[in-house]
Structure 1
Amino acid sequence: MNAQELADGLRRAIQDLNFGAIGDPLAGGSPLRHFPSLDLAVVGFVPGQAPVAANVLFSRDQPEGLIATLPATFGPVQGVEFLADVQDAQGVSVAWLPASDWSTLPRHRLWGQGAAMRAPYPASLLKLMVAVGVAWACQQQRGDWDEAWSYQGQARALRDWQFDMLAVSCNHATSALVAWLHHAGMIRRSAGREVHNEVQALLDRLGLPTLRLHNTQPDGGWGNAAGAGVGQIHMTAWDTARLLWWLDPDAPPAPWLDAEAPRLHAEGRDAVLAGLREQGLDTILSSGTLAAVPGQPAGLPSELNRRWCQPDGNWVAGEHQWPAPSGPQSPTPSVRFAHKIGNTENYASDAGIVRSIQPLGRHYIVAFLSNLGTRYAHHPLACGPKQLAKLGAEVDRLMQRLHESRPGEARP
């Protein structure tokens, strides 16, 4: 399977899942008036072979799907103009309202030239950027992983704040670390505006032009109410996948970076990966956490982290709780998924590193962003429409085919 075949397979998988038929409760349950915005990127690694990657995007303007052009160096996407998501004066994400008219919305260019794509807000996937910023700050000796940082009366080691931010998507821990980044001088504000941002500078040096962490506050504010959030913080699937490539110790060197590009030392990289590997929220592309939810389809077949399973069988990850599933995990897990999700009323995202449980098996990175949050959930305990998990399963099937299509490799 080559890159074009992978891209065609991803686009066909989304087309076949009939995302346009999803009901919108804000429109009385009628099918979506506009095709949703979906941004999916995948990079597959097979030892001894060049990486194979694809990025497909869908929106109301591209309902059949756009296959993005990826350069030979795997640098930034070509042929796409990403537009910033927007909120109104009341903090409402107006781009995703049933009657929204995009021709009347502000057209703030995020990056690129070509087909216009309005990039959905990443929701809590943004915590991956915060985590990388903390790791980089510690590497620059702005702090130490074991130092106690006090936030709103609670003192914890930086690594513990970070673990909770990633593994259980703790908003309080995120605010604590955003406040610490300001305290450490990584981000500075003056006269009500951001004047210095070393986290953003790192992302820029890594050649990830659509990853933006702007307008956070010294008190830890990072959401809409703080003046950040939608319209200030941005991610796209391809650049998120490349950030994970940079983090993945088992991936080949990032070919778009030169020898002078920043590198995380093992301690910082491992601190980030620890929270991803111990993920307690398999609820978007993978769905094991939701196994007890009626009608929930199986997603990417990842192994659950049983540390979040309580003695009574219920699933408790931070403030998130789900009932105990009945019976063994199905399908039988075949991969481990070190990942971070984002999920709000209007948004669902998921990105991470997938490794086969069996040696020499498939190894790939997947990143997905969309405007299909809990507003479209098929059940009150679900996190979005059924199509999200089904897409995760389809991605994994494609990546297994990619692995099996390469000669001389095992096929677990």
Structure 2
Amino acid sequence: MSFLQKSRRTAAGVAAGTLFLSLTTMPAQAAESGHVARFLQQAMDRARFQEVLDLAPPGSSQARVLASSAEEKEATPPEDYARLFASADPQPITQQPQLDVTVLELDRLGRPVSSGTVLMSPQHPRGVVVPVDGNFHTSAVRWRQWDDNGWYANQGKGTIDIVPGREQAPIDFMSPYPASVLKLMVAFGVLRLVDKGTVALADTYDYRPTETSSLCQGDTSNTVANYLEASLTSSNNPATCALVKLLHDKGAVDELNQTFQSLGLETLQFKNTNPATGGRWSNPVTMSSLDTAKLLALVNGLPGRAWTTPAGKPVTGAVLSASSRQVFKRHLGAQGWNDMLSSANRCGSAYPAAGIPHAVADRWIGADGTVTVAGNKFGRDVRPCNAKAEVTYSHKTGWVGNSGADAGIVRSLPGKDGRHYIVVALTNLGTQYVDANRPPAEPGLIPVTYTEKLARLGRAVDTYESGRWSRR
């Protein structure tokens, strides 16, 4: 019997019991969340994420190369990954992947009304529901920092706590590195500086790193607005380094982390980055799917109180100005990398499966209808899918070898089945992991970056939400 068969069999009763316990012990005001959580746990279990193949199994030359880049986790461009994995001998993944997924449902005004968060790991191979209170907060998880080597050596168990004082929490979970979804925290920090008048979007920032960085590159000069747009729409790393260095220059990084804590978003921690370059994005940068979803709810905007923190502080959408929220959402809506919970850039392909049914922004579409993002060609005419789009998806993706992430706001287009929700998926299933049925990469086109199981999950969530709205 394989480890997966054993783990699934032995964990089935425990997972079912934990699911029942977590749903029945929620406060009454959060009971509605049980429906979403139950669906999500079942959808993730049905996806069978444990069937992916590993292009860099332990002991391989590919694994050693990836381990050497842990300090600058996002410095490897897509073409370098393709070359690294060209000679790989894919092997079955050694244990159940690590996933942290949240669906946060919103009403027509953007107010959170219900949610579901499910964690999947070697300890919880069929997924475990995270209980939340009426403020969409949980103290039931001992969040641990991601450890690249420890995921193999320690059976997916972390050793560094993200939130102190959770030693007795019933769920112990090592949070996947968020990859470029961290740029949501950077943008939030920069726009807070704009709202305070510390900087203006029209200001020119001269980026002058005092150390070298393969991630951040060399000197640049541009407006804060242009750096922000490049960071969010094409996930430009050097532009983001400039914004991070700007935050350091203004003494705003510690304040940003304190702001997340004051908002009750305890797992959002932007730590250990390099003030000399704005780089060194590594494992001390942490996000959970639930706190990321709540951050996006504030970006989306809502009237009145969003939630109350554990310290008793009411949180409102006023944490960002209306103009900053508009800039933030506009850039997320113009996202170029539609290839994780969405697969819109590959419209009509037999592989990967179709994800969240949204339209690709016109700025990325060439005369032949195909998409090119930062020089990476996707090679499919997306106009037929754009014509049939059902929702807008304002989101940010991220990937490295062992991280695949997507976080965004979904809203139905006029005349389509109603839905309004936020979905966040943080996983260790980055470019290192592939499906057994993935076809060879086509010459000149970017390879499929994620397992198509993630796009299938995105479509399942959206189908569920389109039905939920009509029943409210």
In structure 2, what is the equivalent of residue 160 of structure 1? Answer: 226
Question: Aligned partner of 1:146: which letter?
Answer: A
SS at match of 2:256: helix
- The 8 Å contact of residues 277 and 339 in structure 1, kept in 2 or not, is answered as yes
What does the per-residue CA deviation read over 1:20-58, in whole Å, with 9 as the maximum and x for residues that have no partner?
111222344333221101111011123499701110110
Work out the CA distance in 2 between the residues paired with 1:266 and 1:330: 29
62 and 106 in structure 1: CA distance in 2 versus 1, 3 angstrom threshold: closer
Gaps of 5+ in 2: 1-30, 58-88, 208-217, 442-446
Comparing 361-370 with 377-386, greater Cα deviation is found at: 377-386
- The 8 Å contact of residues 84 and 118 in structure 1, kept in 2 or not, is answered as yes
Task: Tell me, yes or no, if structure 1 residue 22 matches structure 2 residue 84.
Answer: no
In structure 2, what is the equivalent of residue 77 of structure 1? Answer: 138
Work out the CA distance in 1 between the residues paired with 2:315 and 2:135: 16
- The 8 Å contact of residues 344 and 382 in structure 2, kept in 1 or not, is answered as no
308 and 252 in structure 1: CA distance in 2 versus 1, 3 angstrom threshold: farther
Work out the CA distance in 2 between the residues paired with 1:160 and 1:4: 42
In structure 2, what is the equivalent of residue 192 of structure 1? Answer: none
SS at match of 2:460: helix
Question: Aligned partner of 1:241: which letter?
Answer: A
- The 8 Å contact of residues 337 and 355 in structure 1, kept in 2 or not, is answered as yes
Question: Aligned partner of 1:288: which letter?
Answer: A
SS at match of 2:183: helix
Work out the CA distance in 2 between the residues paired with 1:388 and 1:330: 20
327 and 254 in structure 1: CA distance in 2 versus 1, 3 angstrom threshold: closer
Gaps of 5+ in 1: 87-92, 188-196, 407-412
Of the three residues 125, 148, 153, the one matched with 1:63 is 125
Comparing 354-363 with 339-348, greater Cα deviation is found at: 354-363
Of the three residues 162, 172, 177, the one matched with 1:110 is 162
Work out the CA distance in 1 between the residues paired with 2:348 and 2:158: 42
In structure 1, what is the equivalent of residue 423 of structure 2? Answer: 366
Shift of 1:367: 0.7
Shift of 1:78: 2.9
314 and 103 in structure 1: CA distance in 2 versus 1, 3 angstrom threshold: closer
Work out the CA distance in 2 between the residues paired with 1:236 and 1:401: 27
Shift of 1:149: 0.9
In structure 2, what is the equivalent of residue 200 of structure 1? Answer: 257
Higher helix share: 2
Question: Aligned partner of 1:369: which letter?
Answer: L
SS at match of 1:58: strand
In structure 1, what is the equivalent of residue 347 of structure 2? Answer: 291
In structure 1, what is the equivalent of residue 336 of structure 2? Answer: 280
- The 8 Å contact of residues 77 and 238 in structure 1, kept in 2 or not, is answered as no
- The 8 Å contact of residues 95 and 155 in structure 2, kept in 1 or not, is answered as no
Question: Aligned partner of 2:289: which letter?
Answer: A
Work out the CA distance in 1 between the residues paired with 2:244 and 2:305: 29
220 and 253 in structure 1: CA distance in 2 versus 1, 3 angstrom threshold: farther
Work out the CA distance in 2 between the residues paired with 1:260 and 1:244: 13
In structure 2, what is the equivalent of residue 193 of structure 1? Answer: none
Task: Tell me, yes or no, if structure 1 residue 36 matches structure 2 residue 97.
Answer: yes
What does the per-residue CA deviation read over 1:350-395, in whole Å, with 9 as the maximum and x for residues that have no partner?
0011000026821001111000011123354111111010000001
54 and 148 in structure 1: CA distance in 2 versus 1, 3 angstrom threshold: same
In structure 1, what is the equivalent of residue 70 of structure 2? Answer: none
Work out the CA distance in 2 between the residues paired with 1:218 and 1:47: 41
Shift of 1:12: 0.6
Work out the CA distance in 1 between the residues paired with 2:301 and 2:49: 35
- The 5-angstrom pairing of residues 245-284 of structure 1 reads 245-250=297-302, 253-256=305-308, 258-259=313-314, 263-284=319-340
SS at match of 1:69: coil
In structure 2, what is the equivalent of residue 303 of structure 1? Answer: 359
Shift of 1:106: 5.9
349 and 252 in structure 1: CA distance in 2 versus 1, 3 angstrom threshold: farther
- The 8 Å contact of residues 293 and 382 in structure 1, kept in 2 or not, is answered as no
SS at match of 1:329: helix
Task: Tell me, yes or no, if structure 1 residue 402 matches structure 2 residue 468.
Answer: yes
In structure 2, what is the equivalent of residue 239 of structure 1? Answer: 291
Question: Aligned partner of 1:73: which letter?
Answer: N
In structure 1, what is the equivalent of residue 4 of structure 2? Answer: none
Shift of 1:183: 1.7
177 and 330 in structure 1: CA distance in 2 versus 1, 3 angstrom threshold: closer
Work out the CA distance in 2 between the residues paired with 1:64 and 1:398: 20
Normalised by the size of structure 1, how large is the TM-score? 0.87
CA RMSD in angstroms, aligned pairs only: 2.3
SS at match of 2:418: coil
What does the per-residue CA deviation read over 1:139-183, in whole Å, with 9 as the maximum and x for residues that have no partner?
222211110112244322111110110011000110110111112
What does the per-residue CA deviation read over 1:299-345, in whole Å, with 9 as the maximum and x for residues that have no partner?
01112112111224331222433213377118921000000001111
Task: Tell me, yes or no, if structure 1 residue 10 matches structure 2 residue 40.
Answer: yes
Task: Tell me, yes or no, if structure 1 residue 94 matches structure 2 residue 156.
Answer: no
Task: Tell me, yes or no, if structure 1 residue 322 matches structure 2 residue 322.
Answer: no
- The 5-angstrom pairing of residues 173-212 of structure 1 reads 173-187=239-253, 197-212=254-269
Work out the CA distance in 2 between the residues paired with 1:346 and 1:309: 29
